[in-house]
Amino acid sequence: MSETVTPSRPAVSMEEIQQGWHELTLRVSQLEAERSALEQENKSLRFLLERVIEHRQKSHGELVLLLSDLISKLPLHDVGILIARLVEHNAHVSEVCAALAKGKIESSLPQPAVLKALDQAKRELASAVKEAVEKLLQLDPPLEKEMLEALIKDPESFFSPKAVRANRCFLKGQVPKERILRQFGEAALVFFNDLTTDPKLNPRPKQEEIVLAFKEDFEALFEANPTLLPEQRRELKALYERVQRSRGNSDTARAQKAAFARLSFILELLYYYEHQNTESPEAVFAQRLPVLIEQLAMPSAQAALEEKLITEVEALLGYILNADHRLMVINNVGKAGGLARTLKFVLRLRAEKAPDQNPAILNEVIPEFVRQLIPASSPPPPAALVPVLDLIPTDLQRAVVRFIRHFDKLRKEDAAKLSLALAKEFKLGELEVEPKAPAPVAPEVERERAWDNIKEMIASRTEPARIAAAIRDRLHAKYDADEVRQSWITLTEADPISLIRVFCQLPYLADGRTDPVARAVMETYVTRLMHEKYAAIYHKVVNSLKNMFRANAQSPTLTNFVSLVKWVDASAANKLSADIGMPAPA
């Protein structure tokens, strides 16, 4: 192959270079000017971008705070989870904005008031754990000192299998086998009875789960074997004495059990606040804590309630942040009846700050309290009621005595005599004479007035919870088909958003319980909503729910409404979800 020949260019003359020099200089200077202009424009754009990102960070933080305050007022059990998600989302948005602008977050992120209160409660509980452990150690219980001291630095070790077995043994006057082997060796087993191994029921238990108890003749057996455990006899005898002191109903035993119950209460509550995502509030506040409250306020040898113990119980209840959770604990005290049930009503009445604003106190709690105090037809002597009534506030004492005066289980003479004696004892003065009943109003007029008031509440944009409470009160006062129909008509006359929000609040009472008539009423509402007669109302409700779904698929109002519809009618919930365009509820 022949090589390609490249023709050589002719050399440029000096005249041509001189002629093109001025043009090249002009173009370079023009490019320099454009570069300077672009640099200035880039600086201005960057400044504006940083201003926009900074404003976005601040506005998003303020929005998260507003949403957190609103969510904290909802009657939900997973409020903490929702707020934690909001805060996590806010932190992520701030990190992204900072990476776009300067690469780091210069200012600390705003923290919702709910989380601030939660952090403060955790710090107070951690401090209370240290105080409770020190108080329990002063009483010298038969628990290992190292295990109790470890709770100060690691409170969650209280829930480890080893600690759970040790605590159970402490309450029953027993000791774990693993502890005896570790401290005294196998030679010490001769002084104990094995309470776990059974030839038929449990022939091969796990060694770490075996529980031992000192033999009944331990002292005689101990003296008869002076050669056993020569270096540890004093420690074994001391353990025996500590176990014996913690058993029974002695003052020392009751003090140890009370201190342990107080420590258990604090650790249970702290563990719940640290693991709200996985722990069920019902298991903590309706099952575990009420039992501890009863143990603290009513030692086994006690026949009456004491102001000092109730004050200590109220101090522990004060660690609970949510008022509904505190009320849940109180309402689940005294399931077995007796003095524990009286304790429940005393705590409930003492916890009420404004009884005049809560009709449930006067209409439900006080009547049940009086029935607990006076179970029989014969009136008890005033001296038997004075110690209990002395534990509640004065204004509620007056309400209780006034109810006793008209108590239907007593004869009028006995009720009047008992109420006057109690009024004199507590220096309540003369009880007010019951006002004369107003002139009877026709049922139609009364119903019209009641529903007109509810319509005014809806028109004035009153909170949905208050509107739902007014509807429940009216239905409880008179529950029949006409009242339910009128309640539905009243809701359909409101805008669809108000209807949805009131519907979501309808089943929940102020103390967190479910209204017993709510299901029947809401089932009627859903049946009417799905009927072709109310097709226009249905379309308005669906359009509002569609807008919520487009704005936020996880909207609490949307999910709560669909869940409540599913609660009363699963097929209606499936149709509603399909019309909205969201997945059917599981």
Instruction: Give the pLDDT of the chain (586 residues) as one tens digit per residue.
Output: 455 656 666 666 777 777 777 777 888 888 888 888 888 888 878 777 777 777 666 666 666 666 666 656 555 445 555 666 666 666 666 666 666 666 555 555 555 566 677 788 889 999 999 999 999 999 999 999 999 999 999 999 999 999 999 999 999 999 999 999 999 999 999 999 999 998 888 888 988 889 999 999 999 999 998 888 888 889 999 999 999 999 878 888 989 999 999 999 999 999 998 888 788 888 899 899 999 999 999 876 567 888 999 999 999 999 998 888 898 899 999 888 888 889 999 999 998 876 666 777 888 888 888 888 887 657 788 888 888 999 998 888 888 888 888 887 788 888 888 888 888 888 776 665 454 444 455 667 677 777 888 887 887 778 888 888 888 888 887 778 888 888 888 888 888 888 888 888 888 887 777 888 888 888 888 888 888 888 888 888 888 888 888 888 888 888 888 888 888 888 888 888 888 888 876 6
Q: Do residues 515 and 574 share a domain?
A: yes
426 and 453 together in one domain: no
Same domain, 419 and 347: no
Question: Is residue 394 situated within a structural domain?
Answer: yes
For residue 481, give the amino acid letter: A
Question: Is residue 471 a contact partner of residue 502, using CB atoms and an 8 Å limit?
Answer: yes
- The pLDDT of residue 261 is 94
Q: What are phi and psi of 195, to 5 degrees?
A: -95, 0
- What CA–CA distances, in Å, run from 346 to 300, 319, 343, 361, 385? 19, 19, 5, 12, 12
Residue 336 confidence (pLDDT): 80
Q: Identify whether the C-beta of residue 464 lies closer than 8 Å to the C-beta of residue 498.
A: yes
C-beta separation of 509 from 497 below 8 A? no
Tell me what pLDDT residue 147 has.
93
In this structure, the answer to whether residues 325 and 292 fall within a common structural domain is yes
- Could you tell me if 171 and 198 are in contact, meaning their C-beta atoms sit under 8 angstroms apart? no
Distance CA 273, CA 117 (A): 11
User: E strand or H helix at 361, and its extent?
Assistant: none
566, 498: one domain: yes
User: C-alpha dihedral over 493, 473, 563, 77, to 10 degrees?
Assistant: 130
Q: What is the 3-state secondary structure (H, E, C) of 34-94?
A: HHHHHHHHHHHHHHHHHHHHHHHHHHHHHHHHHHHHHHCCCCCCCHHHHHHHHHHHHHHHH
Write down how long the chain is.
586
pLDDT of residue 484: 84
468 lies in which domain range?
A: 443-580
- 303 and 377 share a domain? no
Whether 401 and 362 map to the same domain: the answer is yes
CB atoms near residue 382 (< 10 Å): 18
Q: How many CB atoms lie within 10 A of CB 219?
A: 14
Token pair belonging to 565: 């519809």
Judge whether 554 lies within some domain.
yes
Residue 174 lies in a domain: no
**CB atoms near residue 380 (< 10 Å):** 12
Q: Assess whether 293 and 409 both reside in one domain.
A: no
- Residue 1: predicted pLDDT: 46
Domain presence at residue 163: no
Residues 6+ apart with CB under 8 A from 146: none
Q: What is the pLDDT of residue 321?
A: 87
What pLDDT, on a 0 to 100 scale, did the predictor assign at position 79? 57
| pTM of the entire predicted model | 0.60
User: Last residue of some domain: 300, 316, 351?
Assistant: 351
Cα–Cα distance measured from residue 469 to residue 547, given in angstroms and rounded to the nearest whole number: 27
Asked if residue 107 belongs to a domain, the reply is no
CB atoms within 10 A of CB 564: 21
Instruction: Please return the burial class of 60, using the count of CB atoms within 10 Å of its CB with bins 0-12, 13-18 and 19+.
Output: middle
At 437 the pLDDT is 41
296 C-beta neighbours (distance < 10 Å), count: 20
Q: 564 and 494 in one domain?
A: yes
Q: Does one domain contain both 563 and 512?
A: yes
Are 572 and 526 spatial neighbours (Cβ–Cβ below 8 Å)?
A: yes
pLDDT of residue 150: 93
Q: Phi and psi at residue 213, in whole multiples of 5°? A: -140, 140
Query: What is the Cα–Cα distance from 557 to 546, expressed in whole angstroms?
Result: 12
CA-derived radius of gyration, the chain: 37
Is 518 a member of any domain? yes
474 located within any domain: yes
Answer whether 327's CB lies under 8 Å from 366's CB. no
328 burial class (0-12, 13-18, 19+ CB within 10 angstroms)?
buried
245 belongs to a structural domain: no
Last-in-domain residue among 86, 101, 116:
101
Tell me which residue of 569, 459, 563, 469 sits closest to 513, measured CA to CA. Answer: 469
Give every CB contact of residue 569 below 8 A, 6+ residues apart in sequence. Answer: 523, 526, 527, 530
Residue among 493, 576, 399 nearest 584 (CA): 576
| Residue 408 and residue 336 share a domain | no
Kindly list the distances between the CA atom of residue 297 and the CA atoms of 268, 374, 375, 446, in Å, as whole numbers in the listed order. 18, 22, 22, 47
CA dihedral sign of residues 126, 132, 136, 142:
negative
Rounded to whole angstroms, the Cα distance separating 118 from 380 reads: 46
Q: Give the pair of three-digit tokens for residue 382.
A: 């005033």
Judge residue 291's burial from the number of C-beta atoms within 10 Å of its C-beta, 0-12 exposed, 13-18 middle, 19 or more buried: middle
Q: How far is 79 from 233, CA to CA, in rounded Å?
A: 56
Find the helix or strand (DSSP H, E) in which 175 lies: strand 175-176
Q: Which helix (H) or strand (E) holds 131?
A: helix 113-138
Domain total for the chain? Answer: 4
My answer on whether 70 and 48 are in the same domain is yes
CB of 61 within 8 A of CB of 92? no
CA angle 163, 168, 172 (to 5 degrees): 145
Q: Let me know: does 142 contact 214? Beta carbons within 8 Å.
A: no
The letter for the amino acid at 551 is A
Half-sphere exposure of 586 (CA within 13 A, CB side): 0
Q: Which of 432, 457, 476 is the last residue of a domain?
A: 432
